[in-house]
Amino acid sequence: MKKRYRTVNDYYREIFGEKIFKLPIDAGFDCPNRDGTVAHGGCTFCTVSGSGDAIVAPEAPIREQFYHEIDFMHRKWPEVHKYLVYFQNFTNTHAPLEVIKDRYEQAINEPGVVGINIGTRPDCLPDDVIDYLAELTDRMHVTVELGLQTTYEETSELINRAHSYELYVETVKRLRERAPKAEIVSHLINGLPGETHEMMVENVRRCVTDNDIQGIKLHLLHLMTNTRMQRDYHEGGLKLLSQEEYVSIICDQLEIIPKDIVIHRITGDAPRDMLIGPMWSLNKWEVLNAIDKEMERRDSWQGCKVVSKKEEKA
């Protein structure tokens, strides 16, 4: 059944002509929100692996990780031979430029690599790093995945995000100016403490209206063991979303996202042994199917409620 939103799998088939693998790599970067550069302790939802819990061999050298991931993926899809290198966990531009170059080049020059995805923060993209990314766009497909999580300053402070939405907007503008061929994917989390259904929809509206981005990742908040947010939950400061609430939020968000923006994720994965909740999120295909059914019930599509500039003026 054709999805009612623009999936990343369909998009990659459009530009690469076939199915590809995204290979998550731990390149050994830290986070400025942990090491004292901007704050200590990290975001309250973040695990000790910095969202890299699914990486197959995080302790191995970068090139070995690359081939470990390929071997793992080929067990299910042996016919796939094009790859995106995904520097995923922590902040993968949080280092001097020469260090960043050295670590990236260890993986992106391997056979079959057609692109690179870089997970980072808006406070870790100085001009020299952006200029390097612009150079990479002449060699391959480059995607900068910018963690935003929320557009509300009160939520940002509550989760110890340690950067403002204003800084995020400024960083997107600099990326567009200095590396125009790089694609920008924004990350938002649904279910953060204190945010209502309406606030979560507004997060998306601001993100796609204020910023020239090409993709979006919508995450469900996973409450994980050994995180600062675990304490908030046990003290009653956090209410986890039900599956029905989450599906409703996602569908409302999809309806206001312009049709040309690629949906890189509308749910997420979490290790079962580390997840406190919501436990229903472990049944990923059930969640995806519920979203499809709700969009069909509404007879709605991605972008069906986008208001054009002409309509706004009227």
The length of the chain, given as a count of residues: 314
- Asked if 132 and 97 count as a contact pair (C-beta separation under 8 A), the reply is yes
β 262-265/215-220 pair status: parallel
For 225, 233, 257, the CA distances from 197, given in Å and listed in that order, are 25, 19, 16
29 token code pair: 């970067």
Strand partners, 25: 87
Cβ atoms of 63 and 110 closer than 8 Å: yes
Which of 51, 153, 44 minimizes the C-alpha distance to 92? 51
pLDDT score recorded for residue 311: 58
pLDDT value for 86: 96
Report how far apart the first and last C-alpha atoms of the chain are (Å, whole number): 37
152 Cβ neighbours under 8 A, 6+ residues apart: 165, 195, 199, 203
3-state secondary structure the chain: CCCCCCEHHHHHHHHHCCCCEEEEECCCCCCCCCECCCCECCCCCCCCCCCCCCCCCCCCCHHHHHHHHHHHHHCCCCCCCCEEEEECCCCCCCCCHHHHHHHHHHHHCCCCEEEEEEEECCCCCCHHHHHHHHHHCCCCEEEEEEEEECCCHHHHHHCCCCCCHHHHHHHHHHHHHHCCCCEEEEEEEECCCCCCHHHHHHHHHHHHHHCCCCEEEEEECCEECCCHHHHHHHCCCCCCCCHHHHHHHHHHHHHCCCCCCEEEECCCCCCCCCEEECHHHHCHHHHHHHHHHHHHHHCCCCCCCCCCHHHHHC
Q: 6-296 has which fold?
A: Transcription Regulator spoIIAA (3.30.750)
Confidence at residue 92, expressed as pLDDT on a 0 to 100 scale: 95
pLDDT tens series, the chain, 314 aa: 689 999 999 999 999 999 999 999 999 999 988 888 888 888 888 876 545 456 667 788 999 999 999 999 899 889 999 999 999 988 999 999 999 999 999 999 999 999 999 999 999 999 999 999 999 999 999 999 999 999 999 999 999 898 999 999 999 999 999 999 999 999 999 999 999 999 999 999 999 999 999 999 999 999 998 888 888 787 777 889 999 999 999 999 999 999 999 999 999 888 888 899 999 999 999 999 999 999 999 999 999 999 765 555 54
Please give the pLDDT value at position 50. 46
Rounded to an integer, what distance in angstroms lies between the CA atom of residue 218 and that of residue 225?
A: 21
pTM for the full predicted model:
0.93
